Amino acid sequence: MVAALNAALRASLDRDSKVLLMGEDIATLGGVFRVTDGLAKDFGEQRVIDAPLAESTIIGAAVGLAMRGYRPVCEIQFDGFVFPAFDQIVTQVAKLRVRTDGQVAMPIVIRLPFGGGIGAVEHHSESPEAYFVHTPGLRVMAPATPADAFVMLQQAIASDDPVIFLEPKRRYWDRGEVDLNVDIAHATLMGRARVTRSGSDVTIACYGPMLRTCLEAAEVAAEEGRSLEVVDLRSLSPIDFPTLVASVERTSRLVVVHEAQGMASVGAEIAAVIAERCFWSMEAPVIRVAGFHTPYPPNRLEQHYLPDVERILDAVDRSMAY
């Protein structure tokens, strides 16, 4: 996936001279995950910028650059370091378009490696998506595969809206087919979910790092004679409810899976909406599989914190038991 993201950045830098990258350690080092590797060399320091160590002004400066006509793509090094920039994101990036009655665009992408499962120290494994989904004015996207990472990042950069682009860091090293010649304009539309695996018993909604885990669960379930339909949400704001509702109307059951803690989360939103829209067809309540209501634990305990195949199958069981 790292290579796919790198290729997407390269393509975007090539396509539009207004695209700039900014972040900590992204130029000379090429990013701690090497997502920007080689880009400073090829596009120069003016377009691939090593910033001082200050997230708030990485985003704040991006706002000014956007106002001057640029399209900044900012990297926040890890999920846990996005909070110093929270004010600029929520108060300025998300709101400036509406505050100026549409006269100022905020074509800013904030790339955020997120999620756990890589054995990192604290603050390096968080899933802050709900904070952004709750915030009007932001789009939130999370690719789950290299192919989607390649397409979706380019779409995010091309969008005139600000996008929080969540990169599932435990999938950074995943390999997969990427069609580098895909026509971005005709690829799966931004904001659309995708039914990644069809099934008839229970719908599983997930995104980012959990897609692979959910597909594994579906494999195991299939062996046990249960047919799971796996929906990759891809976009978290907006959420593609039409696709999800259509799936749930077929299966009558839904399990939502994410790593983030559950209270007032994306899973809560999905459960609330589906419970309403599919009220007459649900044969079981929406079951949520999420991180616990604790700060992310020390990494030797993360396997217990993170939803895994077993917990997903347990939720499927509970759903089927209704």
Partner 1 sequence: MHTHGGDDFVQLLTPEGERLDHPDYPLDVTGDEVRALYRDLVMMRRFDLEATALQRHGELGLFTPIVGQEAAQIGAGRAMRPGDFAYTSYREHGIAWCRGIEPLTLMGLFRGVTNGGWNPYEHNMAIYSIVIGDHVPHAVGYAMGIQRDGTDDVALAFFGDGATSQGDVHEAFVFAAAFHSPVLFFLQNNHFAISVPVETQSRHQLVKRADGYGIPGIRVDGNDVLASLAVTRAALQRIREGGGPMLIEAVTYRMGSHTTSDDPTRYRPHDALEHWATRDPLERVLRLMEREGWADGDFIAGLDAEANAMGATLRDGTRALTPPDPLTMFDHVYAEPHQQVTDDRAFLARYLQAAPSGDLT
**Which among 58, 73, 71, 66 has a CA at the least distance from the CA of 16?**
71
Residue nearest to ligand TPP (CB): 81
- Alpha-carbon distance values, 305 to 254, 267, 295 (Å): 21, 16, 10
87 by DSSP, 3-state: which?
A: helix
Which of the residues 100 through 119 are near partner 1 (CB under 8 A)?
100-105, 119
Q: Whose CA is closest to 38, among 15, 6, 12?
A: 6
Q: Is 293 labeled as catalytic in the residue annotation?
A: no
**Cα-based distances in Å from 315 to 14, 22, 133, 230, 267:** 46, 41, 24, 14, 13
Number of residues that bind partner 1 (CB under 8 A): 84
Residues in the chain: 322
* Footprint on residues 72-101 left by ligand TPP (CB under 6 A): 77, 81, 84
Determine whether 69 is exposed, middle or buried from the number of CB atoms within 10 Å of its CB (0-12, 13-18, 19+).
exposed
Smallest gap from residue 278 Cβ to ligand TPP (A): 42
Alpha helix ranges (H) inside 80-140? 86-87, 96-99, 129-133
CA–CA–CA angle 229, 227, 277 (5° rounding): 45
User: Contacts for 296-299 with beta carbons within 8 Å, 24 or more apart?
Assistant: 296/116, 296/122, 296/125, 296/126, 298/122, 299/116, 299/119, 299/120, 299/121, 299/125
Identify which of residues 77 and 247 has a Cβ nearer to ligand TPP in the complex.
77
Q: Of 123, 124, 134, 293, which is the active-site residue? A: 124
Identify the helix (H) or strand (E) that includes residue 259.
strand 254-261
Nearer to partner 1, 46 or 181 (CB): 46
Task: Return the residues of window 253-312 that contact partner 1 according to CB under 8 A.
Answer: 262-263, 292-295, 297-301, 303-306, 308-311
CB of 309 to partner 1, least distance (A): 6
* Other beta carbons within 10 Å of 43: 20
- Contacts with a copy of itself, residue ranges (CB under 8 A): 80, 83-84, 86-87, 90-91, 94-95, 98-99, 122-123, 130-131, 133-134, 136-137, 237, 261-269, 271-273, 275-276, 279, 284-288, 292-295, 322
Q: Per-residue contact track with ligand TPP, 5 to 24, x per CB under 6 A?
A: -------------------x
Binders in 195-224 for partner 1, by CB under 8 A: 213
Q: How many CB atoms lie within 10 A of CB 303?
A: 12
Q: How far is CA 298 from the centre of its chain?
A: 23
The interface with partner 1 within residues 141-180 (CB under 8 A) comprises: 159-161
Site string for ligand TPP, 21-60 (x = CB under 6 A): ---x----------------------------x-x-----
**Using CB under 8 A, which of 80, 143, 168, 199 touches partner 1?**
80
Does 14 bind partner 1 (CB under 8 A)? Our answer is: no
60 or 176: whose CB is closer to partner 1?
60
Spatial distance between the Cα atoms of 286 and 104, rounded to a whole number of angstroms: 40
Which CB, 84 or 191, lies closer to ligand TPP? 84
Say which entry of ligand TPP, a copy of itself, partner 1, none residue 279 contacts (CB below 5 to 8 A, set by partner kind). a copy of itself
Interacting residues with ligand TPP (CB under 6 A): 24, 53, 55, 77, 81, 84
Question: Which residues does the annotation mark as catalytic?
Answer: 124
